[in-house]
Amino acid sequence: MKALLTNHGVKHVKATPMNPQGNSRTECRHRDYNRIMRIVVQKYGLSWKTGAFIANWCLNSLPRSGSSICPFEMLLGYKPRFPAESTMADYAGVSFKKAFGKANLSDEQLMLHLEAHRAWCMQTIEQVSKEQLLLNKQSSDLVTYELTYSVGDLVLLARPVIGSKKKGTTTRLLFQNIGPFEVMEYIGNNAYRLRKLGTDAITTHNVKYMNPYLTKAAHEKQTLTKADPDANTVAIPAYVPQPGDFMLFVGLASSDVPFHLVEVLEFHSDSDDVEFYYWNNSTSSGMLRNYRPVWSAPDSKEIQSISKPPQKNYVKVAHTAHRDYFCWSAIPVVKTTKGFHLSQRNINRVMRMRTSESYLAVSTASYRI
C-alpha cells in the first residue's frame, strides 16, 4: 500500500480544527464557498439556504486542476448543463451574423464592429472596477463601532476560564471578567496600557478584551461627598498596622460596597504603603458575616475559603496601597467555622477614622496607585 500511494503521489496531510492551516486545499475551497455565499446573500438578497445550493453547484460543476472531469460528472456519469447552454440552444444552426442582426455587414466591417464593441466593454469593465475599488476603500475606512477610554478610567478584562468537565466546575468556553484595572496610557486605536489596582504591574492589552467598569467622573460622583468646611475634624490615632491586623480598605468604595475587609501583611513606614490580603464574603448576610480569604489562580475563578483550596496553583495574592486608602485603625473580628464576623458598632467607629482629606485622596488617588 505504501508503494502504491508513493507511485500515485498520495500524501498524508494531518489537519485538525484547531490548526486548519495544515490543509490548505480544503481551506482554499472554504474561501471560495464564502465568496459565493457573500455574493448570493449581499448582492442578490437571497437566503443562506439558496446560497448553499448555488455554491455547491458552482464548486461541483467545474473540474479541479489537473483533471477534465468535475465532481458532478464523477457522481452522476454525465456532464452538467449550464444555464448559458440553454440560451445558446435557441441559436442552434443560425449563423453568427444572423444571430446578432448583422447579416448586411461584410466580414471586415463585422470585425471592426466587434472590435469597437470589445473596446467599449473593456472600458466599462475598467470603470466599474475603479468604482468598486473606491467603494471598498470607503467602506474599509468607515468605523462601525468604536470604544475609547480615558486615562484614569477603570475597566475589566475578559479572560477564559479553563476548567475540568466535572460537575459543578467551569467549562472550557466560559469567560470571566477580572480587575478592575486603571487605564494608564493610550497606545493606539486598539491597545491600552493598564495597571491592576493595588499593584504596580503595568501591562498592555487589546481593547477587544476590555469592558467598561467605571469612568473617573462616575467614580468621583459616587465616592466624593460634599465636605462641610465648618465640620469638626476627626483626630486620627497614632496607629501602626501590624502583621495580622484587620483593616477597612476604602480605595474602591462605592454606594453599595463602602469598604473591603483586608488583612495586613506588612506596613512600610518609609512610603506609608500597606501590603495586605483581601477578605471577602459572597453570602446574603450583608457586610457583617462570613468573611474568608480570597484565593486566586491563573485563568481560574477566585475561591473564598478559610483553608487553602485543594486545587493546584491557588495562592493568596498580596496587594499594596497607600495609607490614605484605609480607615486608620484596626477593626476587631470574631472567628467562626464559617468565617470572620464584624459588628456594626465597630464598623461605624472605624469608618470615622477616615478624615475628609483622606477620603478625597482615596477618590482621586485610586487612579494613580
| 248-267 residue pLDDT tens | 988 877 777 888 889 999 98
Q: Which of 12-16, 169-173, 200-204, 217-221 has the lowest mean pLDDT?
A: 169-173
For 21, how many CA atoms within 13 A lie in the half-sphere containing its CB?
Answer: 1
Average pLDDT over residues 286-296: 82
Query: CA nearest 354: which of 252, 234, 228, 254?
Result: 234
Do 79 and 72 touch, CB atoms closer than 8 A?
yes
CA distances to 33, 124, 127, 133, 303 from 130, in Å: 25, 10, 5, 5, 60
Reported pTM? 0.37
For 169, how many CA atoms within 13 A lie in the half-sphere containing its CB?
Answer: 11
Average pLDDT of every residue of the chain: 77
pLDDT tens digits along 354-369? 754 433 333 333 322 2
Read off the pLDDT band of 297 (50, 70, 90).
Answer: confident
pLDDT tens digits along 86-117? 666 666 666 666 666 666 777 788 788 888 88
Secondary structure letter of residue 326 according to DSSP: B
